[in-house]
Amino acid sequence: MSKKRIVVLTGAGVSAESGIKTFRDSGGLWEEYDIMEVATPEAWERNRDLVIDFYNQRRKQLYEVEPNDAHYALVELEKDYDVHIITQNVDDLHERAGSSHVMHLHGELKKVRSSVDENLVYDLEGWELKPGDTCELGSQLRPHIVWFGEPVHMIPAAADLSNTADIFVIIGTSLNVYPAASLVSYVRPGVPVYLIDPGEVNAAHIQGVRVIREKAGSGTRRLVEELRK
């Protein structure tokens, strides 16, 4: 018998217990930095060095942190289910924990790309991208991140995947950023939806959602135990 499919949408909260800051919580990254100054194409045009440095700091930190219980619990789920993760995160903690299917909606920190041809994507060695590092066409390399105002190319594939879910799980996202937050609307009627988050996420529009109001580590472990019963 083929395994049931679980599609999991994750956000910054799944990596919080690894020591990576979320964006919109108190003390989050968007309190410290202005989105418009570091995460938009305009910021890149205006102040390239600041943008490069912002993502260098994020990338550097990535080499200092480890996956947490939530990432590992999702790997464990693969014993019984066909698990597909759609993440808004640009870290690689799902992959490092061992998840087999991970789709990044908003790019990946450890990759960089050409600033004139977005199809030229490269793995960056080490954490530091430098002003003056160029692609094969001679243009400055930029972080491989989907900035505010840029199209999210992975959305059609993520929507198709959400539509095939037998169970849909949302972990650690404020559901504030579209189009990622709209993926749940592609879930077929009657499919169980779980939401794991210690904060107050507006989930009123999600029919029949079961909210597990816990941190990702303990909440995901609880969910895995329930689903394995």
Which amino acids are annotated catalytic? 106
Cα gap 167→128, rounded to integer Å: 39
- Counting contacts by CB under 6 A, is residue 224 touching ligand OAD? no
**Binding residues for ligand OAD, total number by CB under 6 A:** 25
**Tokens representing residue 20 in the block:** 């990576």
Cα gap 93→68, rounded to integer Å: 8
- Binds ligand OAD by CB under 6 A, chosen from 6, 7, 9, 16: 16
Q: How far is CA 215 from the centre of its chain?
A: 16
Q: What is the layout of strands, in order, in the sheet containing 193-196?
A: 102-104, 82-87, 5-10, 167-171, 193-196, 210-212
- Counting contacts by CB under 6 A, is residue 199 touching ligand OAD? yes
- Binds ligand OAD by CB under 6 A, chosen from 6, 7, 9, 12: 12
Site string for ligand OAD, 159-188 (x = CB under 6 A): -------------xxx-xx-----------
Q: Which of residues 55-94 bind ligand OAD (CB under 6 A)?
A: 88
Cα gap 187→1, rounded to integer Å: 23
Footprint of ligand OAD (CB under 6 A): 11-13, 16-17, 22-25, 28, 39, 88, 106, 146, 172-174, 176-177, 197-199, 201, 215-216
